[in-house]
Amino acid sequence: NVLILDFGSQYTQLIARRVRELNIFCEIKPYNHLPEDLSEYKAVILSGSPFSVRGDDAPHPDLSQIKGKKPLLAVCYGAQYLAHFNGGNVAPSNTREYGRAKLSFIDHSESFFEGISEGSQVWMSHSDTIKKLPEGAIKLASTHDVENAAYKLKDEDTYAIQFHPEVYHTTDGKKLLENFLVHIAGVAQTWTPDSFVETTVAELKAKIGDEKVILGLSGGVDSTVAAVLLHKAIGKHLHCIFVNNGLLRKNEFQSVLDQYEGMGLNVKGVDASARFLDSLEGESDPERKRKAIGRVFIEVFDDESHLVEDAKWLAQGTIYPDVIESVSATGGPSATIKSHHNVGGLPDYMKLKVVEPLRMLFKDEVRRVGASLGIDKELLGRHPFPGPGLAIRILGDITREKVAILQEVDAIFINGLKEWGLYDKVWQAGAMLLPVNSVGVMGDERTYEKCVALRAVESTDGMTADWVNLPYEFLQKTSNDIINKVRGVNRVVYDISSKPPATIEWE
């Protein structure tokens, strides 16, 4: 196990993902919540930070239990922090030190840079620079602008680098992490999807025994993988509930339910469409729509779970990015842009114990674990779909007729992406039904009908996104199909806004 101490860098999660790609388990902890028992950690990595070490409010944790006692790798701010507190000198830099740079000098007498040559590209992002190294420190690398790009403290396994090994643009970043973790710190590369499945199934068996577990399936990757893991551990004691809120994609409820049954899951499909659609009647405010759907979901789920006699556990598909304690640069909570409704908001009175088998996994790891469990590739590669479904893609109030129109449009778009081999190149796609009618002409007749907007984005986590440059021929064919086949739609537009400032969903 490797400990990553977070100083608030935007790249901290990336460090963890790179380490996991080396099949090494690691955990992120905020610098001000250093675990008391450090014995299980074989090595420690210090992250970057938006702070300057010279600032009064900068993170200055006590590292006396770590430095010199365990292999330590300090990145960016971490490197400056070590220099600052060990007799070096950190000051604002005169030249810009952002973006690409090339290593112009490397000390190859140290195994740290083994297999990495001069000229290798690294990614810099810092405004302070290390002017003078600590007493006795050994310079390991430089770039044209940054003299002390990497160094080592004498007589201890403490390494520091000014650049970011975790970002894609640092060509040999992963190799460097491997050199440090595997060759210097001697950490074993045993964290694989298969070993995760094996140990997690054993843990779940021991923890749950023959008690009953309830799990809400959504059709998405996380809840599905959580269900299959639990099923492997406790079989029929897992009771899955899959709710149709009437706002899913066309035919989705039945086809996903069939798939779940095909996997041998003990699943109950509950068609509560009418209850959801009735609760949304006349509602056009996005946040109130979300709240109504969240409320009805809890009611339905609660009713259903009471039918499972003597259930003791509630299972959830929570993943690691949802549980990492983060260091906030401003100290305050971030603004709520949209309230995301998930199973997380279940009422306290359900008094169930919670089990979250995926809480230590990143999304890409969930997919790899799913593949190792034999879950269908197509299911694992599905685009994300929001909990409130088409309700937040129908701008304005929602009627059954509008849902039916949007389901048709969405199906043409998504099936087209699949047929053209574009589906896997897109992170998320969908159609929005706009609350405007526009004039058109079909045959000799004037029409006055609805407009739909298509949206397809590239992203890694939904936090930032860019629109996808879909081929014109594809857009042309899709637009024709939609206008010819879907009654009530006479105009199609394509959304070319990035996030930020736009969001992925229109509501």
259 part of the interface to ligand XMP, by CB under 6 A:
no
| Residue of 68, 52, 66, 6 whose CA lies nearest to 32 | 6
- Identify whether 166 is a catalytic site residue: yes
User: How far is it, in rounded angstroms, from Cα 140 to Cα 112?
Assistant: 9
Q: Known binder of ligand: residue 223?
A: yes
- Identify whether 240 is a catalytic site residue: no
462 part of the interface to ligand XMP, by CB under 6 A:
yes
User: How far is it, in rounded angstroms, from Cα 239 to Cα 367?
Assistant: 22
Smallest separation, CB 223 to ligand XMP (Å): 11
428 part of the interface to ligand XMP, by CB under 6 A:
yes
464 part of the interface to ligand XMP, by CB under 6 A:
no
* Tokens standing for residue 166: 């975790």
Q: Is there a contact between 70 and 208 (Cβ–Cβ < 8 Å)?
A: no
Q: Which of 26, 84, 97, 164 is catalytic?
A: 164
Cβ neighbour number for residue 103 with a 10 Å cutoff: 25
440 part of the interface to ligand XMP, by CB under 6 A:
no
289 part of the interface to ligand XMP, by CB under 6 A:
no
340 part of the interface to ligand XMP, by CB under 6 A:
yes
Q: Known binder of ligand: residue 495?
A: no
Q: Choose, by CB under 6 A, the member of 61, 321, 384, 488 that binds ligand XMP.
A: 384
Between strands 98-106 and 121-125, the pairing is antiparallel
What are the E-state strand segments in 284-366?
311-315, 353-355
Q: Known binder of ligand: residue 224?
A: yes
328 part of the interface to ligand XMP, by CB under 6 A:
no
Q: Known binder of ligand: residue 464?
A: no
Q: Known binder of ligand: residue 218?
A: yes
Q: Known binder of ligand: residue 284?
A: no
- Within 13 Å, how many C-alpha atoms sit on residue 359's CB side? 10
- Identify whether 283 is a catalytic site residue: no
Q: Which residues pair with 75 in a beta bridge?
A: 161
416 burial (CB, 10 Å; 0-12 / 13-18 / 19+) is: buried
Smallest separation, CB 187 to ligand XMP (Å): 34
Q: Which of 97, 166, 304, 507 is catalytic?
A: 166
Choose the binding region for ligand XMP from 13-21, 75-83, 227-235, 340-348 (rule: CB under 6 A): 340-348
Q: Choose, by CB under 6 A, the member of 386, 452, 453, 483 that binds ligand XMP.
A: 386
User: How far is it, in rounded angstroms, from Cα 80 to Cα 94?
Assistant: 16
Sign of the C-alpha dihedral computed for residues 255, 260, 263 and 266 taken in this order? negative
| Residue of 10, 21, 22, 17 whose CA lies nearest to 47 | 10
Smallest separation, CB 27 to ligand XMP (Å): 25
Catalog residues that contact ligand XMP under the rule CB under 6 A.
290, 338, 340-342, 384, 386-388, 392, 428, 462, 499, 503-505
